[in-house]
Structure 1
Amino acid sequence: MLTTSQSTTKTKKASVNATQPRTEDALENAIRSLDLTAKIRLLSGARMFSLHADAAIGLEEIVMSDGPTGVRGEEVVGGRESCLLPNATLLAQTWDPGILAEVGGILAEEAMDQKTHIVLGPTINLHRSPLGGRLFECFSEDPYLTGILAAAYVKSLQRRGIGASPKHFLANESETQRTTVDCIVDERALRELYLLPFEIVDRDARPWTVMASYNSVNGTTATEHDELINRILKGEWGFDGLVMSDWFATKQAAESANAGLDLVMPGPQTVWSDSLEKAVRAGAVSEEAIDDHVRRLLRLAARVGAFAGSRNWPTAVPRPDGDLRREQLRRIAAEGMTVLKNDGGILPLAPGAGTVAVIGRHATDTVAQGGGSARVRPPHVVSIADGITSALGRDSVTVVDGVETRTRLMATSPSLVRDPETGTAGMRVRAFDEHGHVIESRHFDVAELEVAEDGWLAAAARIELSADVALPAPARMRVGVIGPGDWSLSASGHQESFTVTPHQGPGGGLHRPKSHASVVALEPGTRITATTGPHFEMRIIGLVLTAAPRAAAAAIREAVEAAAHADTAIVVLGNTQEQETEGQDKKTLALPGEQDALVAAVAAVAPRTVVVVNAATPVLMPWLDDVDAVLFAGLPGQEAGEAVAAALTGDIEPAGRLVTTFPAHDGDGPAWSTTPTEGRLVYTEGTRIGYRGWHASGTEPMFWFGHGLGYTTWDYASAAVTGEDGPAVAEVTVALTNTGSRQGKETVQAYIIPEDPDEPARLIGWGQISLGPGENGNVRITCDPRTQRIWDPAGQAWQPLNGGTLAVARGLGDIRIKLQLDGVQEA
């Protein structure tokens, strides 16, 4: 394993703590040299993802990139290739801070290779409701697990001089009406749940920036929330970094500047650039407040190497498709995968175990990442079908397409189209003026592009996308476009005009572009031409070319035939970017299309049925009792198929543990709806989200938080509290034995179940151990006092959690040992 100490790129170490006094003096001198206009200019972005330089004070441009699971760069689509890591929930399912530190190292090197100073992540909002569309980008329903893993990620990034930006501060647990919703959260829940991950990251990792969210919290918009930003984050916790807005989130100048917001993004035209100087001169904002904002900006610049001296960027960084990265990403993804069911121990698949039918659209159209601003352009995505075929041998594997899973089509793979002028993979894009003259013509090696108001297409009256079809034989295909606009399309004698409207909600034209396509009979070499008019709101446009849709009944018949003649059927199913996306929540946990019917039909005839779930968050499994094994594979990143194959064959143990509780039915659980009522979303469950609420209700979910079988069995011999920190449990030691026949990794979890029935159970720590068959060992679990306290709103102070039961478990559904705790003394 590549550890964090084995960095593949040597770079000058950057301090994670406050800058040195000499640097602070330089900051103060720079501030004194700037007039008010110059100061305020620095406090808005220069462009979409960069900040202003000022040569007079030695300030260089600072570049940011979206990137919780990959450093995308400044272009939303069509930019450079970057590593695509497993999604955040899959990373979190390792429960391993060392893995998150390794991820931070990969992202830092990717950022350095792109000369990017700040990676906008991690996302550390909680899985309040399983319907949340952006949960794939967040770690867990548990605030402590989230905070510890995020701290490891942040420390690793910043150790290499790349800034992190934990987000979204605060209570952005859903996407419906996210720019306007007022989240109503009681003070205890805010402190014990939603603030806790940020508190842990701030105190343990000292992030250099934090991003404020779009929504309001208890009546005040997050970018203007004096209590959250000034009093708690900067005051109580001593945060000395910079607070930036989410993109286009800032609404009012004086209110946000006084509340502690330091930077408005993006720029250059913002509410601050328009009116903040007037507010200062009118006395509504003090110049001392402006100076503090500038001070924090310059401190950030010093930390990332953009102030008082140019940064030296490395010249050699591992390539996204190189052997090192591929090994890392395959291993990390496979280790986070979770075995939910394994009747008869049919997994791992034994060598020479017979013939295998790999069934399902997700086997060939594997979803490697979610939708939205986190999306990156990977060098490749290994499909699950290709990974399994490579591992088991082409002679043993039959691949069968499944039912349709997408209603919104994606841009075509560039391998299916050729630029008409160059013959190379991709498409030709031409911009025309109002007289029909070509302004500019460019080749794109992808089949989509971003149209921006300040981009090279801004002067065009008409945009044309064209490509020649690179099919090996004649075929009926869906041909069309993605992206809003008034379109004309021609291909093989087919001509039509139509309008694609923007997707409703924030970023609809960028993050969730709608599509339109028609079925056309195509010959190899057929030219596709699509033109759109002068609608230059920010949007993604591109060409669609994909197989014509199939009737579900026909797809299921073909799958049943293959399954009946195979020794094992592996059904691959899951969600798409329509369900796992920024800007839109789910309406149901049911799988899209007729995937449930497909599984049921296959399980009825197959000798053995294994289901691989290619989704980041809970899905309903009405067929669970009918199948033999279920592997929850997440959104595995660019090495998806290789990682799934490694997990299924046991080449790498899928030792993951769930980070979210899985309900068996829509509507189950303590928090469900993400739809505001009259603009307000009330967190009525208080502190009882996720497993806390399930446990308090006495009802059983389909799978508990912390559940995961791995590939061996474990005996928990004893447990004892071996350390105390005043009133809190500080350490628990657990003796256990690997009683199975394989090497395995165990995640031993410690929970407190309070005496007071009104207090929910909570995770207080965990430890991990790897043992061979028959080996035994001790796991020392460090327990955090920040999980063993209760916020007293009346006294505005923390109080200790008194007494209860210490549960040592493999998840709350599999408690192995219980210890009674004595009541603790007053703090």
Structure 2
Amino acid sequence: MSDTEMTNSTPNTEFSPPCSPQQKFEQLMKDTRTSARKKLSQLTLKEKVSLLTAADFWRTKAIPEKGIPAVKTSDGPNGARGGIFVGGTKAALFPCGVSLAATWNKDLLYEVGQHLADEVKARSANILLAPTVCMHRHPLGGRNFESFSEDPLLTGKLAAQYIRGLQEKGVAATIKHFVGNEQETHRLTIDSLIQERPLREIYLRPFEIAVREANPWALMTSYNLINGTHADMHDHTLRTILRGEWGYDGAVVSDWGGTNSTVESILAGCDIEFPYSPKWRFDKVTQAIQDGKISEGDVDRAAENVLTLVERLKGDDMAEEQAEREDNREETRALIRAAGAEGLTLLKNEGGVLPLNAKTTRVAVIGPNANRAIAGGGGSASLNPYYNTIPLDSIRAASEAEITFAQGCHIHKWLPVASRFCKDKSGKPGVSIEWFAGDRFQGDPVVVQRRTNTDLFLWDSAPISEVGPEWSAVATTYLTSNSTGTHTVSFMSVGPGKLYVNGKLEMDLWDWTEEGEAMFDGSVDYLVKVEMEAGKPVELRVEMTNELRPIAKQKQFGITHKYGGCRIGFKEEDQVDFLQEAVEAAKAADVAVVIVGLDAEWESEGYDRQTMDLPSDGSQDRLIEAVVKANPRTVVINQSGTPVTMPWVDRVPAIIQGWYQGQEAGNALADVLFGFKNPSGKLPSTFPKRIQDAPAYNNWPGENLKVNYGEGLYIGYRYYERALVEPLFAFGHGLSYTTFEYGRPSLNSKILTPHNTIELCFAVSNIGSVAGAETVQIYVRDDKSRLPRPEKELVAFEKVFLEAGETVHLRINLDKHAVGYYDTAIPSWIAEEGTFNVLIGASSADVKYTIPFEVKESFTWIF
């Protein structure tokens, strides 16, 4: 048996040697601030004011005559999409945030950041709008898949490494959304009512850790209000805490369209309004100075932060922005595949069903997600990947067994986009769009384009410079079905829209009033039945403009035009009984692999889920029950970014939580199913048995545009342990194909003081027959506290990779942050005198050892 020693210690910059890389980096940051101040001193007031809003949708303002370049942003967080929301430059699609968090691997997050930096540069961008560190407050959160965890320490530690990976390659991270943005329902206007202790200990904590350990160069405010004030103008969080207590020196940007005032926003410390808009800045800033509401010094402070960001990224580089390009590297593909496999979380494995072995001769691959790429969630996290891998194809490639497939059921929220059935008039795949200046289709088209996707989300890709801010467009495509029957076409529109089928008006949404969930500001999805013959094209023509709809919004927002677009979906009439086909396939197989879950329509920015049940209408649950009855050797893979109810959990022997694994999702899954990779994922959030058990169940999603964070400190495992509610699967849970054994721990000191750490030492051994990885989780419990505290809290974690028979000796340092809580009466962080216990475990519910230590005398700190 071989022995290895590991420690979680990181260099303390206070004691770094002269000319250390850390000190060189800090000096560089000081130099950029000095250079920014020098450039600021050369600017006129008008020029300084111009820096406080974006130049367009993605870029900051350039002032070439003063040597100030623009910098370009790109959406993340699981890839660098570039400048077009739908159908843009192809890019690497990484596993989603919750899947990366399920790896519990800080080194991996750093490596992901490094590769993402290269992708950002390939999009000719300088700033990635990531990571997302909002908390998993409720299982139905629409963007939970994009965020990391329910635990602030896990979230903050992983975010810090992700940020370091990006910024050490010269790309700015933009940590978001600051703060209290745990839901999408009414996200622009909801008021998050959060008491000071949970605000500090839960929701601000990931940002605090990331600022302390990685110093993100940019930070994005959230859309919501916090205790009555919009986040972009919230003095307490932005000026008192972020700038004051934490000493943050980066640039603060609003979320897109998330600036809500002129004076208050600038005074609080929101430096840049994104995207370009004349609504709150420009002349209004100058007028506010003249009226004495703000000073030129306030503008100088914000402009200096913008210039410092530009200096960090480009300095004096005035080179013309290059065209976006692809950079499809083998090493990035390999990293995505490995990261995907490492995040897969084995929840259950009775009877040794997994891994599938060489004796398996017939495998039935079943389910609505088995033969399509479910690579990521929707909204800002979406992009056009270099490629996708499909589970069915990957399973076939990995095994010599006979593989059969049955779909089992449909789970569409909206009909699938019609793109693969569509060609333009020339016969090329896609849609032709004729653009007109003005919103009344007058004159000849000014621009003619071809798009490959019938999801025509045009908010960031309309040719505004040619057609102007008010435009109209005609999109035409020819749809050909593979079968004869009564098929279905769907249509939703952002602005006014009309759909013609073979010249006949079928859907008139010119003055629609009922809002849907797709495309952020679109109508509901309307359906029309169309009789079609196999191989015979049908012409679809859409007339649309970018007038704001519903019309009532024009008065509400004081604008008449915004963005336009439409979405065309298509589904052929079913020809088979999918459920019966699945049962027959399962009966004939040695093992059934059922791949179910959600997708980018069910989990997305812009809206929350409405139920924890698998969609839709129980069809997936019925499928699983029928398959496991037909074949007891059934493996279920659930692809989702959030928990789902599992009424079949006791009858299915093996379950994998599949998350969204990016472009290598199929290959990563096959690697784990067949044992080429040993699963090592651990749940970064608790899976409850039912939605009613969720901590925030009684305070979700709020009423009258207010949501009370009434559960306080007790989110996730903190709640389940305090309330004695048994979850379906506990925080930190995850199985392996091997077995690990923990050695008895020791401490180098039993006393923790303000200026020292205590070192926890113990061994972990792989006593199984195959190599594997274990995540060791360290919790601390305060035996007696003046204020209520959770039963225990995660304070450290380490992932170890062990060959069969190998032992590693871990040394984990614990400091004041492991014992403190925030006392609003002081107000500061405090470590109270008394006894604490270190709990060492494989999950929050699987504690192996407990060992006590003391704080002899209470002490406090700010940051």
Which residue does 1:591 correspond to in 2?
Answer: 614
Match of 1:716 in 2: 742
Shift of 1:326: 2.1
Question: How far apart are the structure 2 equivalents of 1:298 and 1:338?
Answer: 44
- Answering whether residue 548 of structure 2 is matched by residue 526 of structure 1, we say no
Moved more, 27-36 or 262-271: 27-36
Structure 2 counterpart of 1:744, one-letter code: G
Matching residue within 390, 402, 406 for 2:408: 402
Q: 1:547 to 1:817 in 2, by over 3 A?
A: farther
Which whole-Å CA distance do the structure 2 matches of 1:749 and 1:718 have between them? 15
Structure 2 residue aligned with 1:319? 327
Are residue 483 (structure 1) and residue 506 (structure 2) matched?
no
Q: 1:317 to 1:648 in 2, by over 3 A?
A: farther
From 762, 779, 784, give the equivalent of 2:810.
779
Assess, with a 3 A threshold, how the Cα gap between structure 1 residues 408 and 473 changes in structure 2: closer, same or farther: closer
Q: Is the 8 A contact 1:104 1:157 kept in 2?
A: yes
Secondary structure in 2 matching 1:821? strand
Are residues 510 and 96 of structure 1, via their aligned partners in 2, closer, same or farther at CA, if it must alter by over 3 Å?
A: farther
- Give yes or no for contact 1:509–1:538 (8 Å, CA) kept in 2: no
Name the counterpart of 1:101: 110
1:759 is aligned, of 789, 796, 803, to 789
Match of 1:159 in 2: 168
Cα distance, 1:56 vs structure 2:
2.3
Distance in 1 between residues matched to 2:813 and 2:589, nearest whole Å = 48
Unaligned runs of 5+ in 2: 1-20, 548-561
Query: Which of residues 457, 463, 483 is equivalent to 1:450?
Result: 457
Deviation string 1:400-434 (CA, Å, 9 cap, x unpaired) is 11212112234234x4332221x222222223663
The residue aligned with 2:17 is none
Displacement of 1:276? 1.3
Structure 1 residue 319: Cα displacement: 2.7
Deviation at 1:596, TM superposition (A): 0.8
* Residue in 2 that maps onto 1:804: 836
RMSD: 2.8
Task: For 1:287-302, list aligned pairs within 5 A.
Answer: 287-302=296-311
Structure 2 counterpart of 1:815, one-letter code: V
Check the 8 A contact 2:753/2:855 in 1, yes or no.
Answer: no
Structure 1 distance, partners of 2:169, 2:732, is 32
Equivalent runs, 1:342-357 vs 2, <5 Å:
342-357=349-364
Query: Structure 1's 502 and 61: CA in aligned 2 closer, same or farther, altered over 3 A?
Result: farther
The corresponding residue for 1:431 is 435
Aligned-residue offset at 1:244: 0.8
**How far has the Cα of 1:491 moved from its partner?**
5.0
Distance in 2 (alpha carbons) for counterparts of 1:302 and 1:712:
50
> How far did 1:546 drift?
3.3
CA deviations on 1:224-271 (whole Å, 9 max, x unpaired) are 111111111111111111111111111111111111111111114230
- Residue equivalent to 1:309: 317
Distance in 2 between residues matched to 1:510 and 1:113, nearest whole Å: 30
Contact 1:400-1:558 at 8 Å conserved across structures = yes
Shift in Å at residue 556 of structure 1? 1.6
Q: Provide the C-alpha distance between the structure 2 equivalents of 1:431 and 1:488, rounded to a whole number of angstroms.
A: 15
Which SS does the other structure have where 2:200 is aligned? Answer: helix
Match of 1:541 in 2: 566
Residue deviations 1:608-662 (CA, integer Å, cap 9, x gap) = 0100001011111010001010010101111111111111112122211000001
Matched residue, 2:211: 202
CA shift in 2, pair 1:311/1:164, >3 Å: farther
Does 2:69 align with 1:60? yes
Instruction: State how far apart, in whole Å, the 2-side matches of 1:95 and 1:451 are.
Output: 37
Q: For residue 395 of structure 2, what is the amino acid of its counterpart?
A: I
Name which of 590, 596, 600 aligns with 1:577.
600
Show the counterpart of 1:667: 692
- Asked if 1:47 corresponds to 2:52, the answer is no
Distance (Å, rounded) in 2 between the aligned partners of 1:689 and 1:509: 28
- Secondary structure of 1:676 counterpart: coil
Partner amino acid for 1:581?
S
Partner residue in 2 for 1:6: none
Shift of 1:700: 1.2
Q: Please give the alpha-carbon distance, in whole angstroms, between the structure 2 residues aligned to 1:599 and 1:450.
A: 35
Residue 655 of structure 1 corresponds to 680
Structure 1 residue 279: Cα displacement: 0.7
Where 1:810 maps in the other structure, the secondary structure is strand
Deviations 1:189-211 (A, max 9, x none): 11111111111111110111111
Structure 2 CA distance for aligned equivalents of residues 609 and 448 of structure 1: 36
CA distance in 1, matches of 2:40, 2:514: 44
* CA separation of 1:397 and 1:494: change in aligned 2, threshold 3 A: farther
Whole-Å separation in 2 of the counterparts to 1:620 and 1:437: 55
Q: Which secondary structure does the structure 2 equivalent of 1:630 belong to?
A: strand
Q: Which residue of 2 aligns with 1:497?
A: 507
Q: Does 1:726 align with 2:724?
A: no
Task: Indicate the residue corresponding to 2:153 in structure 1.
Answer: 144
Task: Give matches, 1:332-481, under 5 Å.
Answer: 332-393=339-400, 396-413=402-419, 415-421=420-426, 423-431=427-435, 434=441, 437-452=444-459, 455=464, 463-469=473-479, 474=484, 477-481=487-491
C-alpha contact (below 8 Å) 2:494/2:523 kept by paired residues = no
2:528 and 2:746 map into 1 onto residues whose CA distance is 63
Give 1:591's aligned amino acid. L
Q: Offset at 1:473?
A: 5.7
Change in Cα spacing, 1:361 to 1:784, as seen in structure 2 (3 Å) is: farther
Which residue identity is paired with 1:408? W
Structure 2: which amino acid aligns with 1:726? T
What letter matches 1:819 in structure 2? I
Q: Are 2:621 and 2:647, in contact at CA under 8 Å, matched by a contact in 1?
A: yes
CA change 1:247–1:405 in 2 (3 A) is same
**Cα offset for 1:332?**
0.7
1:788 and 1:496 map into 2 onto residues whose CA distance is 65
In the TM superposition, residue 806 of structure 1 has moved relative to its aligned partner by 1.7
C-alpha contact (below 8 Å) 1:479/1:520 kept by paired residues: no
Q: Distance in 2 between matches of 1:819 and 1:182?
A: 42
2:757 pairs with 1:750: no
Q: Would the aligned equivalents of 2:493 and 2:522 in 1 still touch at CA under 8 Å?
A: no
- Contact kept? 1:751, 1:762, Cα under 8 Å: yes
Contact 1:318 1:325 in 2 (8 A): no
Partner of 1:560: 583
* TM superposition score normalised by structure 2: 0.89
SS of aligned partner of 1:364: coil
Give the letter for the 1:674 counterpart: W
The answer to whether the 8 A contact 1:19-1:299 is kept is no
Matched, 1:225 2:234: yes
TM-score, normalised by the number of residues in structure 1: 0.92
Q: Distance in 2 between matches of 1:690 and 1:20?
A: 38
CA contact 1:600–1:623 (8 Å) conserved in 2: yes
Change (3 A) 1:454 1:788: farther
CA distance in 1, matches of 2:598, 2:472: 36
Residues 1:316 and 1:29: Cα distance change in structure 2 (over 3 Å)? closer
Separation (CA, whole Å) in 1 of partners of 2:258 and 2:496: 29
Deviation at 1:172, TM superposition (A): 0.9
Distance 1:464 1:548, change over 3 A: farther
State the shift of 1:482 in Å. 4.3
Aligned residues: 809
CA distance in 1, matches of 2:325, 2:765: 42
Q: Match for 1:645 among 670, 673, 679?
A: 670
What is the rounded CA distance, in whole Å, between the counterparts of 1:313 and 1:351 in structure 2? 54
Kindly provide the amino acid, as one letter, of the partner of residue 707 in structure 1.
Answer: H
Q: Give, as a single letter, the amino acid of the residue that structure 2 aligns with 1:669.
A: A
Q: Which amino acid aligns with 1:341?
A: K
1:713 partner amino acid = T
The letter of the residue matching 1:809 is: G
Using a 3 Å threshold, how does the CA distance of structure 1 residues 21 and 629 change in structure 2: closer, same or farther? closer
Q: Which amino acid aligns with 1:445?
A: T
